[in-house]
Amino acid sequence: MFKSDRFKKVSQAFKSPKSSGSANRSASSSPIVPASSDGKFKSVSNSIMKANPISQSSDARLFDSHVVKYSGIKGKIIAYSFDYTQSLMAVATDLNEIHVFGQGQVEVVFTLSIKGSIRTLNFVKGIYLVAIDSKDTLLVLSLYSKKVLASVFIPSHITCVETDPGIDWILLGLQNGAVMVYDVDRNSFSGVTIENLQKSQFFPKEIISPVVSVRWNPRDLGSVLISYNSVTVVYSLVEMEIKQSFIYELPPFAPGGDNSDKKIDTVRRPKVVQSLYHPNSLHILTVHEDNSMVFWDANTGHLIEARTLFETDVNIPNPKREILMGAAGSPQIFKVYWICMNNPEYTSLLVATKSLAKGDTSQGITILDLGGTPLYSITSYDAMQQYYANPKHQKLCPLVNRAPLVDILPLPKASAHFGGCHDPAVVLALLDDGEIETLLVKSGSFTSKASLLSQSLSWTRPVVTTSTAFSVPKKLWLGLMSTYSTVNESILKGGTSSKRGMRPSEIRTAIATGHTNGSVRIWDGAQNELDDKCVFEVNVGRVVNRALHLSISKIHFAAETLELAVATEQGEVILYKFELNQFFKDNKQSSDTDLDMMFRRFSLEDAKDILVDVRDRAPPNIKQGFMPSTVVNARRGEVTSLCNSNIGFVAIAYSSGAIIVVDRRGPAAIFMGQVRDIPKIKGTCITSVNISIMEYASDGYSSILMYCGTDSGELITYKILPSGSGRFSVEFIEISKTSDNGPIISIASYAKASGGSCEGTIMKMQELTRGSCVAGYVIVTGKNDIRIVKPGKSKEDHKSYRHPIVACDITYILNYGSKGEARITTFLVAVLSNACVKVLALPDLKEIKSMDPPTPVSSHYITETAVIKNGDVFMRIGKYLSVLLSIVNEQSNAVPGSPTLSSNGPVVDVLYNPNLKITYRPQVNSLQWARGTVYCTPEQLALILGGEKRPDSRYKESAIATGTLSSEPHSSEHAYQKPIRHANKHNAGYGYMKGISRTVETHWDNIETQFNDYATATGQAMNDAMEQTGKDIVKGSFGL
């Protein structure tokens, strides 16, 4: 190649033209006649054995495997919880691990030795985490000491749990209908137990009902809302009696929630499944198994409205009402949250539904925006019924074609009170397969943005379809991370990361994951070594203009040129490059070009060209990042191998046997070939591709060589040659059998003299014009064997294993001599299917060290393994879990006399921050106070439940947490204000009220403390036609 001066004739062959320039995108066909007539390897030469070895068996002391970082979740997520004050999130898995996440990469894992599985998680006072398992064992974990403090067996099956962020007490609803109270701080039960009130007070002849729901009053700790199958009661802990009861009965011919004709001519009593307080505690909601949502007056017990998601007045008899076909099989309401905005009087219902019919995927979350709550004291029941029957907005957020929805969790951003429902911006949805979906409340849309939660949770948002890792130059990687947006989008703000020193390697490990929704995420692989914790994310859905069938199958990252290639399950390959976004807009104002761009974003199914320009499909809200440039839409089947080289060439192999080479400079498809066109080949498709710059045979000069391994263990060699027109062409050279059986899984190359990699780089490509000649070897890894090959000459050394090989590559170990001199040694690292790591010497392939895996692995996912040039080994060991190992012995490789990272001991993050205050709990409003409701403080509740002889605290956590409790309201925004007279000589009486009609709700709230009782007594006696007159009378009585 060099002697023919082909590179010298090409003007600026390695300089990319401007992207706007035109390029010929036609592909050249490849010659199929081998350049060498024999097509086989020549006799084995012993010359390599006489050369100086690059690595030696005596180097075993350099290796010792240890875990750098676990990423993801071990097992399937089955429960989760969120603490507003500490801003931490806990998840429990089916393998009895509890992960507590905070900001950045803060993560602490509790491994529990229990026989059952975790059912519920609850934070208590910001410092305790309470878990209850399927065997009815209650576990108390400390976020401060990161230890299990207590384990308590509950004598009956626990059916429901209720906690409050500012108190020590937990309400436990039991299968026998009793409610027990557990003192977390003292690790004891209260002497107060609430009996089965349904059995003792309402339906003594019915079978014993469990407690199906229990809730603290959001404004009064002295009362709780308890639901059984047939009745819901408000129970006063202060007076130890029932204050109000609610029984939902459907008279004959009332349609009910399921709207079916089953026993419609009889009285029915649908079972209660949940009960909730309105944030102001004046109304309650009971949810029933027939999908009825029933609103009640909490004080009088009056039924205000019974409705479903789409029907109203379902409790009113209507013999002529048409029965909707299939209504009985409609999605089942199984969980409801009564959420509120920053102003607790502005509320919405968050309703989760699941399908009951087999094979039906109609499930999701519905948001009923109720708007501002009418003032209780001046609103009639008829007006309130209209309020609940006619919400302002209704958003349907379906989760179709997904695993069953099992739970939802709002994440509040205003306070920890109101049942964790105070102004949530995000709602998490847990699916049966362990995935977590993230719903944005304001827009009603789901998002999978990785920066919202911890990177470990990214493995579940959504499921990872492929994962790998890449070697990245340290300086380039740090520079890349410095461009990441400094805006902290994470929902979790708590905890403190414990930093560890950075390892002395010039190569960083970047981990990449592809997901079912078309997302690709890249982040730094090491834990707590860098201050910047950022994730680079792209999504192919916008690029291919499709919502389904977006699962990622292959990812390849060219680190030196910051170019990314991504393949989907449909066979499209999307090419990205890290650059400034020429379509970036720092505001959301539309421009004249927006409409044109929208028309250009057609589906790729309509595209006729193989290469489709998609630069205009870059996300407009990202200023700099990985921007799409081209989609290779070849329609050749599934992608079996993807190589995105550092010299601008992208090789794509397909299951149909096709191979396409794209030159990003242009771009242009410079080669399209078929495996079956090669004579005497047995393989049907290409399974591995490598692009290197090295000498072929005895050419005397280096060439750009493309090695392709087939599914039958054959190695195909191509040359990528420049032409006088500035383009490149691909020329077939030879094919040879290298592996005994099975496919080629990986190909690597190294220089004979230095041991350095021969993979193509821009610097090596530029040296071709100066006649460089690098003799090297190719390492071909098959299913069970490794073979070293000299291109065009011979097979040299060979190594076989009983277990299949899943990954094999070269690694470079930095070590120091006795005098402190630095040296880099080249080794070959192979990983077997049992996760055993083999370190081999080059070039003789003698085994230097064998290291067993530190953790069990899954044979289904172990194929997603990568060997990094710095001595790291990335393994996917489960559906939601990966591990990054280092095989470098830090003690042996450190500079003599310097401390090592491992000598610092294990790194454990800090979870609890004692400087964060739990906000003051909202109090009862003036109307409730006037009616005689006595506000119960936490201290009074402790006296009621613990008695005067309550023992001292058993844990130091109690004293720490008590110091975080606010003793008075931080602001008055959650309580009713004292009345203020606003009238003056210019605006008095009724005229003044007309002048502030737009803010009448706020001012009525201020005045309410003076006439609540009067307005309530008169307002309920007036109909809607007389309501305004009544208001005027009230105003006049107060001189307004």
Helix residue ranges, H only, 493-547:
540-544
d(CA 350, CA 366): 6
Beta bridge partners of 641: 653
Token pair of 159 as six digits: 């059916």
Q: 1038: how many CB neighbours lie within 10 A of its CB? A: 14
Q: Determine the pLDDT at residue 896.
A: 55
Handedness of CA 195, 197, 200, 204 (dihedral sign): negative
* Nearest one of 245, 243, 239 to 227, comparing CA atoms: 245
User: Helix or strand or coil: residue 942?
Assistant: helix
Which residues, including other chains, have CB under 8 Å from residue 575's CB and lie 6 or more apart?
563, 564, 565, 628, 629, 630, 631, 632, 644, 650, 662, 664, 667
Cα–Cα distances in Å, from 485 out to 451, 482, 577, 709? 11, 8, 17, 40
Q: Which stretches in the chain have pLDDT values below 50?
A: 1-52, 325-326, 328, 590, 592, 595, 599, 903-904, 971-1040
Rounded to the nearest 5 degrees, what angle is found at the Cα of 175, between the Cα atoms of 171 and 176? 100
CB 256 within 8 A of CB 312: no
* Nearest one of 89, 96, 74 to 151, comparing CA atoms: 96
Q: Determine the pLDDT at residue 816.
A: 77
Rounded to the nearest 5 degrees, what angle is found at the Cα of 183, between the Cα atoms of 182 and 185? 150
* β pairing state of 649-654 and 658-663: antiparallel
Q: 654: how many CB neighbours lie within 10 A of its CB? A: 23
Q: Determine the pLDDT at residue 731.
A: 96
Strand ordering across the sheet containing 148-153: 118-124, 128-133, 137-142, 148-153
d(CA 221, CA 651): 67
CB 601 within 8 A of CB 594: no
Cβ-count burial 585-612 (b if 16+ within 10 Å, e if not):
eeeeeeeeeeeeeeeeeeebeebeebbb
Cα dihedral 141, 142, 143, 145, rounded to 10, equals -130
In SS3 terms, 320-353 reads as: CCCCCCCHHHCCEEEEEEEEECCCCCEEEEEEEE
Q: In degrees rounded to 5, what are phi and psi of residue 207? A: -65, 160
Helix residue ranges, H only, 106-234:
197
What Rg value do the Cα atoms of the chain yield, rounded?
A: 35
Q: Which amino acid is at 557?
A: F
* Nearest one of 240, 128, 262 to 184, comparing CA atoms: 128
Cα–Cα distances in Å, from 666 out to 389, 615, 728, 975? 61, 13, 11, 66
* Nearest one of 909, 907, 908, 915 to 126, comparing CA atoms: 915
Beta bridge partners of 625: 579
* Nearest one of 759, 772, 857 to 810, comparing CA atoms: 759
Token pair of 71 as six digits: 């990423």
* Nearest one of 693, 824, 667 to 761, comparing CA atoms: 693
